[in-house]
A and B are shown apart, each in its own frame.
Chain A
Amino acid sequence: MVDVPYDRIADAPPAEVPEVELYHPRSWWTQYVFSQDAKVIAIQYSLTASAIGLVALVLSWLMRLQLGFPGTFSFIDANQYLQFITMHGMIMVIYLLTALFLGGFGNYLIPLMVGARDMVFPYVNMLSYWVYLLAVVVLASTFFVPGGPTGAGWTLYPPQAILSGTPGQDWGIVLMLASLILFIIGFTMGGLNYVVTVLQARTRGMTLMRMPLTVWGIFTATVMALLAFPALFVASVMMLFDRLLGTSFFMPALVEMGQQMKYGGGSPILFQHLFWFFGHPEVYIVALPAFGIVSDLISTHARKNIFGYRMMVWAIVGIGALSFVVWAHHMYVSGMHPHFGFFFATTTLIIAIPTAIKVYNWVLTLWRGDIQINIPNLFAIGFIFTFVHGGLTGLFLGNVTVDLPLSDTYFVIGHFHMVMGVSPVMVLFGAIYHWFPKITGKMPNELLGRIHFWMTFLGTYAIYLPMHYIGILGMPRRYYAYGSTDFIPSSAHSINEAITIAAIVVATAQVIFLINVFYSLRKGKQAPDNPWGATTLEWQTPQTPPVHGNWGPKLPIVYRWAYDYSVPGEAKDFIPQNAPPEAGGVEPEPHPGKDEARGALA
């Protein structure tokens, strides 16, 4: 028996949990390549996702060059433009953001933050990465096959996606669907691991309501992904059948370029329902890990407990649940029965309430804090800014009537880039700067980090703010060129040039980031074990970077929640979760008495 006050770890079994024998690598190959250590897998996931993400970034420059200076670049034609937007969107949403948050940060942080030695199924975890890598390779191969990648838009709407009027009809779409299927298989293996690890492998004293919000965010997002990705999986399989076997799941009778096709009886809208039943939760699969991580960044760097921890947990869970009943707000003008609009507009606007609570609580965490203006915190503040902006424009598009004129315009582009492009990326960068010392043992360069932040924050805002306005003007999205259109004034073309220039500035900023990473890896200052004075377990490892098995001979034991910052009357302004009970600390009790509550607020 370990000497822990019983009531503090009420739900932990009284007997000591026996140590599970870890798999120990015996060669360089099994240690660094076919590794079963979640930390190595996390880095593999992150590097792969970043590499394919860079491809998507380059594609966005090509798109911006075409939009800013139409007709100037002879190597971009209408087909290629559509291929660029498709690959950019698909890579960014699935192969970068999903993989980096869950496969990258999930793998690295879950075992460390809950006090486990590794994921519960290390072998399956390794397979997950290799299947993901295969999916990425298949996706990237479409650039080199005859006809190139598919240009169907990242939503891959049939019938267009598999007909000859769309580029990439031969190989591109088939490989894209195959790649998605592989990605989902790989993700499922990883996802089951994350969920079981959080539920089964938490160390003693780590109750669910003591978990850092990062773990809550990643955990909830993973559960959602396990429920949502199957919809995309079946949709991909069905479309593959339509394309290769001539079935008609999504294909009605149609005439293509004057030619009667053999299809008949299928429903294009069925695909949209399946796609968005996955696609909307997907937004939160990316957003919830970002919410969780940013909560911990703000709390740590404001030296103050996260405001309303329990409300934050319930908001994460509530948003996760609600996000499964809002999908058709992507389909208000799809031709589905118009009465669905009433239901989905209502559910969509209701989801704004828990989301708004999260924003209030982040800002209220800053209130009366001791705010460190360092790079992770700058990115966290930048996230709040862009997320508030992107979240509020979501109230336009979620409200069925307002969506009517704005759907399929640049307003949509501005909205979703702000809310699910820039904001999660802000968190990713903040998280990289925050955990870089733990992962690499080196401190990132402060000056380069600041330059990176300001160029990225101001630059992306200059890109996406004007897009909302040319969207209100009515400029439709996914247009290769606008030609002469009466309602589009020449000033709209000028702002497109300006946006392209801002995009180049942001691109340069990312080069600075890469320089910072390589420079700090080689020349950075040696990082102490806990440079930010954080309470969570990953900062309490005996070694930095943590070694295989994470904790040395004994697992940490948790005595308090993750947010004991600046506890009144204590010597230091943080108390680690595993500091012995004598170190003090308070946590919001489930049912605080009146006096206690007043005391806590004073």
Chain B
Amino acid sequence: MAVAIILLLVAVGSVLFHIYSPWWWTPIATNWNYIDHTISITFWITGAVFFAVIAFMAYCVFRFHHKEGRQAAYNPENKKLEWWLTIGTAIGVGAMLAPGLVVWHQFVTVPADATEIEVMGQQWQWSFRLPGKDGRMGTTDVRYVSSDNPMGLNPDDKHGQDDVVIASEDLHLPVGKPVKVLLRSLDVLHDFYVPEFRAKMDMVPGMVTYFWMTPIRTGTFDVLCAELCGAAHAQMRAKVFVDEESDYRAWLEKQKTFAELSGRSAVKRATYESGSK
């Protein structure tokens, strides 16, 4: 029966496509291999169900297609069978959901020793900020954004003065150190997306979102935007370098702080304000 054979062939073909497909996830670069494991579990369970259901359907079409004199069985319902199928499905669903929730719990629980860094999106570029020597980042507000303060740092916040501001350049991170990535946007939704990191999160104007991760290998990775942000969405790119600690230190030495970048104008303003009191 041609229909049954084609159905079966498409199902077998799907499995073969899965096995031989050259398109698979990128080599992971963070601690989130738990996510990959959860995907694998899901693939196994759903793959088995897919094949079983389609193969059974193909068998039915093969075995029970219309022939002269065939009469269909009269079989309105079968409570027992329906219950067993329900319970079986519930177990399968549970087997996927449980690891998912466990890993999600890890994902939303940021370790206490994670370093905060900030990524800011705007149409259509990325900027980054690292805490300075004091280990804290200063406050921000979009109302402070100007040509010599592109990230909108609060000029009166002393914690912000030593923040390292990296506008329109690439980000470096030390390998093996957990980071909490704070995400901010000036204008529309963006999404800081590095496929090798697995984790990602939208950046929403008016609020700060976050995710955390620990880079586990050095390398250079493309940053893309994963939330439609207007005409040049596809061109909103940057790079992240995950460095050995010493390389990272060397890079960090060369970066400018907020105070250095906004330099005289900030000093002037501070004098003016203290003078007026």
Contact = CB atoms under 8 A, between A and B. Distances in A.
Interface of A: 78-79, 82, 151-153, 157, 159-160, 163, 165-167, 252-258, 260, 265-269, 302-305, 307-311, 333-335, 338-339, 341-342, 345-346, 349-350, 352-353, 356-357, 359-361, 363-364, 366-373, 378, 381, 384-385, 388-389, 392-393, 395-396, 399-402, 404-409, 454, 458, 461, 465-466, 469-470, 472-474, 476, 478-483, 485-487, 489, 491-492, 495, 563, 565-568, 573, 586-588, 597, 600-601
A363 B57 contact: yes
B234 A401 contact: no
Contact of A601 (B56, B78, B193): B78
Contacts of B42: 395-396, 399, 402
5 contacts: A165-B124, A372-B66, A409-B226, A485-B224, A489-B23
Contacts of A479: 233-234
Contacts of B26: 473-474, 487
Contacts of A153: 228
A381 B7 contact: yes
Given A474-B26, A487-B26, A333 B191 contact: yes
Contacts of A399: 38, 42, 96-97, 100
Nearest to B1: A373
A400 B100 contact: yes
A490 B273 CA distance: 58
A408 B191 contact: yes
Contact of A368 (B25, B53, B75, B204): B75
Given A370-B66, A487-B196, A345 B97 contact: yes
B77 A404 contact: no
B250 interface: no
Interface stretch (B84-92, B155-163, B167-175, B258-266): B84-92
Contact of A476 (B10, B73, B105, B226): B226
Given A159-B205, A367-B60, A370-B71, A308 B233 contact: no
B234 A78 contact: yes
Contacts of A359: 53
A600 B79 CA distance: 12
A82 B232 CA distance: 10
A402 B60 contact: no
Given A260-B145, A345-B100, A396-B39, A566 B71 contact: yes
B77 A369 contact: no
A241 to B, nearest CB: 18
Interface stretch (B14-22, B111-119, B127-135): B14-22
B229 A160 contact: yes
Contacts of A167: 231
Given A353-B89, A385-B57, A399-B96, A370 B234 contact: no
Nearest to A86: B228
Contact of B145 (A151, A255, A269, A567): A255
B107 interface: yes
A56 to B, nearest CB: 18
Contacts of A587: 76
Contacts of A265: 206
B198 A308 contact: no
B200 interface: yes
A341 B72 contact: no
A165 B229 contact: yes
A333 B187 CA distance: 18
B103 to A, nearest CB: 4
B231 A79 contact: yes
Given A307-B76, A308-B77, A385-B54, A482 B234 contact: yes
A399 B107 CA distance: 13
Interface in B201-242: 201-207, 209, 220-222, 224-235, 237
A157 to B, nearest CB: 6
Contacts of B145: 255, 258, 260
